[in-house]
Amino acid sequence: MAILPILKYPDPRLRQVAQPIAEIDDEIRRLIDDMAETMYAAAGCGLAATQVGVDKRLFLVDIAREDEPSNLMVFINAEIVELSGSQKWEEGCLSFPGATEEIRRAERIRVRALDQHGKPFELEATGLLAVAIQHENDHLNGVLMIDKLSALKRRLVSRKVARQSEEQAV
């Protein structure tokens, strides 16, 4: 396993629309392992393949708290088939280091996907799990959390991320 570099905003590759995965082979399984190691090393609760520069419809989510056992969920070729209600959640993103913003998303979702073994599943989610799935699925469509903000907040977040990048470069 390997820790992969996470793309940071405004890298244009974050805007790519990911391609469906035709076959779950050793390469995809290795990518899942590497993405999991990367996500945990970065202390994230979700990671999309596009965030590590891979143009595949794959994302991982693990919303377990630090005092709970890991609950890694793999979503391949996910499709959100139902959205209802509305909630606001303070979101962060590994591609926007240091930035968190309140984002409005659906309160309840239903998603269909394949797991890491290629087995289809359907899941209903609420709360943080619903938020994380929507956030990561957006990444696969080239949509970033910054796109959900007002123009003013977008500028403020862009500046904050730029400052953070400059500080890390020093």
Collect all residues with Cβ–Cβ distance below 8 Å to 2 and sequence separation of at least 6: 34, 37
Q: How many CB atoms lie within 10 A of CB 170?
A: 4
Indicate the pairing of strand 120-126 with strand 108-114.
antiparallel
Amino acid present at 152: L
Residue 27 amino acid letter: E
> One of 27, 79, 90, 136 is an active-site residue; which one?
136
Question: What residues form DSSP beta bridges with 108?
Answer: 84, 126
Task: Determine whether 68 is an active site residue.
Answer: no
Active site residues: 136
